[in-house]
Amino acid sequence: MLKDYDAIVIGSGAGGGPIAWKLTEAGKKVAIIEAGGFYMTSDFNRFELLALRNLWWKPRWTSNHELGLKDEIALGMGRCVGGSTTIFTAVAHRMPEWNYREWFEATRLRNEDGVPFSQEDLEKYYEQVERDTSVREYTEWDEGLKKIDQGFRKLGYPFYPVKAYVNMKCDKSGCLFGCPTEAKRGTLVSYIIPSVLLGAEVIYNSTVTKILFSSDTGDKPRVKGVEFVNEKGETKRLESKIVILAAGAMNTPLILLDSGIEEVSGFSQSSKQIGQNFGVNTATIVFGKFDDVLNNWLLHPLSGQMEEFAQKEKGGFLLEASEVMEGPLSFAEFIVDEDGMPLWGSRQKEILRGYKHYAGVFINIHDSNDGRVFRDQATGQEKFHKPITTSDKQKIEKARSMCREAFLAAGAKETVNSIYASHHVQGTCRMGEDPSMSVVNLNCESHDIGGLFVVDGSVLPSVIDANPSLTIMAISLRVANYLQETNIFENMIEN
């Protein structure tokens, strides 16, 4: 029978955007299904509350207490067309070379020639993404970052400008509520809108509930299409030759598990890996209060970084600045007392009253892929386990005390810590050749289901020491290239 689409792409963020564009550009009929709304640059303003409600997932908390652990992490991701690339800080660093070695250790990932997967295998795709999204060095630093840099220079560790997919139209209006100037070249601007102009369809405010398979197609089941609930609450089905799942490392494994992939694959080794190996680059912020009025919410957040200690062996923490959450509500939600307890009452109010004096350093640690995403069978609830291990705690404490020292050296009078959070979810459907260690192969196609591809942070074999969106976009283009080179659509026998 005739399929509705050549490809259905689930999710429009760093994973879904580039591949949707490449396939559309090649003349394929593409539908993009996005759980969040379709907002344009002109819709973005600085009204924090509505931005948080319309563009972000409500923070989803880990349930580490079920493992007998004390600390929880707030997992915050984008829920709109463009996904997290619409509301994050657009930092665009290539993955450090050492992470490729860790990938090989994690899943024995090798390229087509049987050689361990390396920088060379992503090089041309990184170059392409960097061109497509106007990556440049961000040198117009805010006053907060300049002070932070002064403090760290006294400790011997200067900050350097980040690379970001932000062009010169940036007027430092902030990033977390959507960029109002189109300076941020996330997937919304760089890939989705061009795709729509060439005929791709965006089905927004629609949640995919199931991927559909047909099992009468020879040696392994094949993907048939998807089932989703649309904006009106109606359940719909669409068929396609291939499905590209790019819903992010939290939603992707849940969609696969809800689709019954374990049963369809006969409880294969690979299917048991779905949702395992969850890594998040556990993050936290140290805010420092200066005498000067900084109004540090008017900035391109995270425009400088210090990577001296980023490698696991050197400490395992990456520092980026400045960041004060860009709005008082998020700042109030984040700050904690000396015991790590969220603040409230007159003490919190006093800190908020000094909000204009604060600048912040964002700490990202190299944590291990020891978490898990799954659905609780008894309650039907989605669950996220991500232990903060003793070693993770040591990294965080070392980073926090270094930040505090740097703040004081730069003239700050006091510092305040934040909750644990993460915006870098990874690893829940790893790529590799051995199905006992991975969910998808080198080309991100499922080991178990033909025509089903996973293209998002889920496929990263182990946590990387850079903001992951550039790498996810490069992988997305790599898979698009594979689909085109192998003529997958033309060679497919319709079922």
Partner 1 sequence: MQNRTIDFGVKEIYFLSEDECKFFEALCETIVPEGPDPATDPGALTIGAISYIDSLLYDLPKNSQQHFREAIKLLDKDCKNKFSKNFAAIKPEQRDSALRDFYFNSKTREMMFDLRSLVLEGFYSDYRDPSYSGVTAWEYIEFGGKRISDIKKDWSFLKAWKDHTDGR
Which of 155, 212, 229, 352 touches partner 1 by CB under 8 A?
Answer: 352
Asked if 383 is part of the footprint of partner 1 (rule: CB under 8 A), the reply reads no
Total residues at the site for partner 1 (CB under 8 A)?
33
Nearer to partner 1, 315 or 328 (CB): 328
Q: Which of 26, 212, 257, 329 binds partner 1 (CB under 8 A)?
A: 329
Number of Cβ within 10 Å of residue 443's Cβ equals 18
Amino acid at 470: L
Task: Give yes or no for residue 47 binding partner 1 (CB under 8 A).
Answer: yes
Taken as a whole, the chain contains a residue count of: 495
Q: Does 123 bind partner 1 (CB under 8 A)?
A: no
**Which range in 204-212, 302-310, 326-334, 476-484 contacts partner 1 by CB under 8 A?**
326-334
Instruction: Find the shortest distance in angstroms from Cβ 487 to partner 1.
Output: 46
Q: Which helix (H) or strand (E) holds 416?
A: strand 414-418
Sign of CA dihedral 477, 482, 483, 484: positive
Question: x/- binding map, residues 56-75, to partner 1, per CB under 8 A?
Answer: -----x---x----x-x---
Q: What are the CB-based long-range contacts (under 8 Å, 24+) for 216-224?
A: 216/495, 217/450, 217/495, 220/448, 220/449, 220/450, 221/264, 221/265, 221/448, 221/449, 221/450, 222/449, 222/450, 222/451, 222/495, 223/449, 223/450, 223/451, 223/452, 224/495
C-beta closer to partner 1: residue 30 or 75: 75
- Which residues neighbour 194 within 8 Å (Cβ) at sequence distance 6 or greater? 21, 24, 25
Would you count residue 229 as binding partner 1 (CB under 8 A)? no
The span of 113-121, 257-265, 343-351, 428-436 binding partner 1 (CB under 8 A) equals: 343-351
Q: What's the CA gap between 127 and 122, in Å, rounded?
A: 9
Query: Contact at 8 Å (CB) between 74 and 424?
Result: no
Show Cβ contacts of residue 148 under 8 Å, excluding neighbours closer than 6 positions.
159, 288, 304, 321, 322, 359, 361, 406, 407, 410
As a whole number of angstroms, the distance between CA 36 and CA 207 comes to: 8
Applying CB under 8 A, does 341 fall inside the site for partner 1? yes
**DSSP code of 292?**
S
SS3 state at 425: coil
Nearest in space to 82 (alpha carbons), one of 24, 114, 42, 40 = 40
Q: Does 178 bind partner 1 (CB under 8 A)?
A: no
- Shortest gap between Cβ of 400 and partner 1 (angstroms)? 20
Q: Determine the interface stretch with partner 1 among 75-83, 309-317, 345-353, 472-480 (rule: CB under 8 A).
A: 345-353
Q: Does position 231 bind partner 1 by CB under 8 A? A: no
For the packed helices 16-25 and 469-485, what is the interaxial angle rounded to 10 degrees?
30
| Neighbour tally for 433: CB within 10 Å | 15
Q: Which of residues 247-306 bind partner 1 (CB under 8 A)?
A: 295, 297-298
Residue 436 binds partner 1, judged by CB under 8 A: no
Q: Which of residues 204-223 bind partner 1 (CB under 8 A)?
A: none
Closest contact distance (angstroms) between CB of 122 and partner 1 is: 37
Using CB under 8 A, pick the residue from 156, 345, 378, 493 that binds partner 1: 345
- What is the nearest approach in angstroms of partner 1 to the Cβ of residue 190? 23
DSSP structural state of residue 453 = E
- What is the bridge-based pairing of β-strands 30-33 and 201-203? parallel
Taking the least distance from each CB to partner 1, the nearer of 180 and 315 is: 180
50 binds partner 1 (CB under 8 A): yes
Q: Which of 41, 46, 143, 214 binds partner 1 (CB under 8 A)?
A: 46
In this structure, the number of other CB atoms found within 10 A of the CB of residue 291 comes to: 9
| Cβ closest to partner 1, residue 47 vs residue 267 | 47
Backbone torsions φ then ψ of 187, nearest 5 degrees? -65, -30
Shortest Å distance, C-beta 383 to partner 1: 12
Q: Does 171 bind partner 1 (CB under 8 A)?
A: yes
Of the candidate residues 26, 328, 414, 495, the single one contacting partner 1 (CB under 8 A):
328
Work out which of 180, 207, 405, 482 binds partner 1, going by CB under 8 A.
180
Alpha-carbon distance 74 to 77, whole Å? 10
Among 178, 327, 360, 432, binds partner 1 (CB under 8 A): 327
Regarding 96 and contact with partner 1 (CB under 8 A), the answer is: no
Residue from 56, 355, 374, 489 in contact with partner 1 (CB under 8 A): 355
Residues that bind partner 1 (CB under 8 A): 45-50, 53, 61, 65, 70, 72, 171, 173, 180, 295, 297-298, 327-329, 332-333, 341-342, 344-346, 348-349, 352-353, 355-356
